[in-house]
Amino acid sequence: MARFLAAFVYRPQRTLYLPALAVVAGLLVAGAGLFRPAPRLLTAVPPGYVALVNQKGLLFSDFRAQVEMETGKSFADATPAERRRVLREMINEELLVQRAVVLDLPETTNEVRTNMAIGVNTQVAAAVLAYEPTDAELRAFYDKSRQNYTTPGSMTVQDLVLHVGGYQNADQTLAQAQGDAAEAVYQLRAGASVDYVLEHFGFSRSGRAADGEELDFAAKLHLGDKLYQVASTLRDGEVSDPVVDWDGVHILIMQRHQFPKVADFPAVRDRVYLDFRNAASNHATEENLGLLRRQASILLAPGQSE
Amino acid sequence: MSTKWKWALPLCAAVGIGLAILWLIHVRTERLQHRLLAAAPETVAGDPSLLRFASAQARPLYAQHCAVCHGPHLHGNPAIGAPNLSDAVWLYGTGSLYDIERTLLYGIRSGEDQSHNEADMPAFGLRGILTEGQIRSVVQYLLQLNGRPYDVQAANEGRALYAGTGNCADCHGSDARGNNDYGAPDLTRNVWNSGGDPQALYNAIYSGQHRIMPAWRRSLSLEQIRALASYVYAVSHSS
């Protein structure tokens, strides 16, 4: 016992043994790691997978879900033939996907590129869409973007035109035509009928305005910018001043004008809600793109800009 | 052997025994790990030793990844609509280990195609589908369904709204027992993800529910996901 305990007596030279031993062991481990062969290919399917396709595992869980979805039965009830068919389909799909990567389809096929971009945006937006806005946030959003909730205006307007130098007025100058038009406007405002003006001043219907009511955008399209600008200021029953356009002097008679109106919040809250969420989703997409751009190295050729 | 080296004998013996024990633990763990993953979910669910092993593996993972939403004891968090995982009431699927594992793999509205993403609870109030008064009536109907004190007249109106304008029955069923295929909860069990008091019910209908859960297959290994699924299964079935 005394000899055994004597072994534990402190000896200065022994303090070197253990570090030296550790150094040798460390070197051995490092050497073993350095010269170890590359990881071997898997020759058996690891647990949790149903197949390996070029070393890429297909999850057993996915296989089971696919079988249940395709057959409409529980996995246990699916026949071996059904399972084999589904597995074959999954392996085929994996092979095609791997081939697509080899063929670099993201580089060459627009549809693949588009879907990849959509996939990324969908994932980015997922977290953002989990947030439900409050009433106050919706109202603030509505106040900020009222112009998006404007109901379209409409008008029923007559457009009379006096062609300069036209019928029975071969020597008529523009100034004379304007004078006649001013008189016609005076008569109309005084209560004269349109037929009277057509008959006595040589006006005709321009054919630009529709017979009945039309929405603002359609009226703009038909009347042209210049006449529409005048028409958009007229109220029900008003007659415009003469307007000179490329085909003569026009008079606009507004029968009924419904001006565009901003819809009240309660009337459009569903649209506001959807727009709010779309805006949040778009914002997330832009933020993500901003981050990607900050992390990316993008070089433009001389003279190019984006 | 000289006396000079005799001190090393007990040391080596102790180290050797320690290494042997560690090796045995490692081999046993590896074996159980393999069994846990290789077995069908139903087999794991029926094997208490595997469930114990999985739970031990999963507890730190749960604390690290899941507890922030579902709480340290799996009781959920009504404030953020995170469901209680210990009560054997499930939004998606039937609560089998396989169903839990699928949810863990692909998440809920995670942006992945295979995630649970079939339906959303619309924001009935925010979108103006139902008025505030109508929502309060539906709440009274829910209270009636769960055998809690309710206002008769409002509950009758709520019942009509439930089946009519509200379109609640489309997802929750005409008997209000829900539909696990698309995560519509059973409204008759008095189990509520976002709180069960009348105001919480009102808020859930008014603002809708669009909760998400990440797809963990991107950040956890298959072994870890199986262990977590087994743990949640074990806890939820322990009572």
The angle at the Cα of A178, spanning A175 to A184, to the nearest 5 degrees, equals: 150
- The residues, any chain, with a CB within 8 Å of residue B109's CB and separated by 6 or more, are A126, A129, A130, B115, B116, B117, B210, B211, B212, B213
Instruction: Annotate B80-108 with b (16+ C-beta within 10 A) or e (fewer).
Output: ebbbbbbbebbbbbebbbbbbbbbbbbbb
Q: Shortest CA distance to B102 belongs to which of A55, A47, A76, A63?
A: A63
Interface ipTM:
0.83
Nearest to A7 among B3, B129, B209 (CB): B3
Half-sphere exposure of A279 (CA within 13 A, CB side): 14
Instruction: Report which residue type is found at B59.
Output: R
Reference B195, options B205, B210, B184, B183; nearest CA is B205
Q: How far is A226 from A240, CA to CA, in rounded Å?
A: 12
**Dist. CA A38–CA B60, nearest whole Å:** 32
DSSP assignment of B92-161: SS-S-HHHHHHHHHH-BSSSSTTSB-S--B--TTTTTSS-HHHHHHHHHHHHHHTT----HHHHHHHHHH
* pLDDT above 70: residue B231: yes
With beta carbons less than 8 A apart as the criterion, state whether A137 and A275 touch: no
Distance from CA of A251 to the nearest CA of B (A): 45
Cα–Cα–Cα angle for A151, A154, A155, nearest 5°? 160
Tell me if A48 and B111 make a contact (CB, 8 A cut-off).
no
Block means of pLDDT (10 residues each) for chain A, 306 residues, are: 69 73 87 75 91 95 96 95 97 96 93 94 88 91 91 90 72 84 93 89 85 88 93 94 91 93 89 94 95 95 91
- Find the radius of gyration of the CA atoms of chain B: 25
Chain B residues closer than 8 Å to A134 by CB: 207
Distance in Å, alpha carbon of B239 to nearest chain A alpha carbon: 27
DSSP B167-187: -HHHHH-TTS--BTTTTB--S
The closest alpha carbon to A224, from A202, A250, A188, A204, belongs to A250
Q: Which residues of B touch A (CB under 8 A)?
A: 3-7, 34, 37-38, 98, 101-102, 105, 109-112, 114, 123, 126-129, 207-212, 222-223, 226
For chain A, domain boundaries: 2-34, 49-103, 153-259
Cβ distance of A270 and B129 shorter than 8 Å: yes
Best residue in B222, B225, B226 to probe A by mutation, most A CBs within 10 Å?
Answer: B222
Q: What is the pLDDT of residues B20-62, one digit of tens each?
A: 999 999 999 999 999 999 999 999 999 999 999 999 999 999 9
Minimal Cβ distance to A61: which of B102, B109, B110? B102
Between A103 and B88, name the one with better pLDDT: A103
Determine the Cα–Cα distance for residues A62 and B102; give it in Å rounded to an integer.
9
- Do the domains at B21-117+214-237 and B132-207 have one common CATH topology? yes
Would you state the pLDDT for residue A209?
80
| Shortest alpha-carbon distance between residue B123 and chain A (Å) | 8
A-B contacts (CB, under 8 Å): 71
Cα distance between residue B86 and residue B66, in whole Å:
13
Contact criterion met (CB below 8 Å) for A216 and A227: no
Q: Which helix (H) or strand (E) holds A257?
A: strand A248-258
- Do B115 and B106 contact (CB within 8 A), yes or no? yes
Model pLDDT, residue B2 = 65
Query: Cβ separation of A273 and B127 shorter than 8 Å?
Result: yes
CA distance B211 to B192: 14
How is residue A172 written in tokens? 């008529």
Q: Which residue has the higher pLDDT, B143 or A171?
A: B143
Residue B124 near residue B203 (C-beta atoms within 8 A): no
What token pair was written down for B204?
Answer: 């859930």
B207/A129 CB distance under 8 A: no
pLDDT, tens only, B178-196: 999 889 999 999 999 999 9
Which residues are A239's β-sheet partners?
A253
CB contact under 8 A, B7 and A124: no
**A7 contact residues in B (CB cutoff 8 A):** 3, 5-7
Structural fold of domain A153-259: Chitinase A; domain 3 (3.10.50)
Closest-CA residue of chain B to A265: B128
Q: What is the pLDDT of residue A3?
A: 67
Q: Which residues of A touch B (CB under 8 A)?
A: 3-4, 6-8, 11, 14, 46-49, 59, 61-62, 64-65, 119, 122-127, 129-135, 138, 266, 269-270, 273
Residue in B44, B100, B126 to test binding to A, most A beta-carbons within 10 Å: B126
Contact between chains at A3 and B6 (C-beta distance less than 8 A): yes
Chain B residues near residue A138 by CB distance under 8 angstroms? 126
User: At a CB cut-off of 8 Å and minimum separation 6, what does B211 contact?
Assistant: A130, B80, B81, B82, B108, B109, B193
Residue A169 pLDDT: 63
Identity of the residue in B34, B101, B208 whose CB atom sits nearest the CB atom of A132 = B208
B39 Ramachandran zone, left/alpha/beta (phi>0; psi -120 to 50): beta
Taking an 8 Å cut-off on Cβ atoms, the answer to whether A126 and B111 are in contact is yes
- Phi, psi (5° rounding) for residue B137? -65, -40
For the domain B132-207, what is the CATH code?
1.10.760.10
**Cα–Cα distance for residue pair A124/A130, rounded to 1 Å:** 11
Give the pLDDT of residue A166: 63
Pairing of strands A56-59, A49-53: antiparallel
Task: Classify burial at B111, counting beta carbons within 10 Å of its beta carbon; exposed 0-12, middle 13-18, buried 19 or more.
Answer: buried
pLDDT score at A173:
83
A139: CB partners within 8 A, 6+ apart: A265
Among the partner residues B3, B4, B105, nearest to A61 by beta-carbon distance: B105
Looking at domain B21-117+214-237, its CATH superfamily turns out to be Cytochrome c-like domain (1.10.760.10)
Q: Across A164-173, B116-125, B145-154, which has the greatest mean pLDDT? A: B145-154
Answer whether B111 sits within 8 Å of A124, measured CB to CB. Answer: yes
Domain ranges of chain B: 21-117+214-237, 132-207
Share of chain B above pLDDT 70, in %: 99
* Rounded Cα–Cα distance for residues A135 and A273 (Å): 9
User: Inter-chain contact A273–B129, Cβ cutoff 8 Å?
Assistant: no
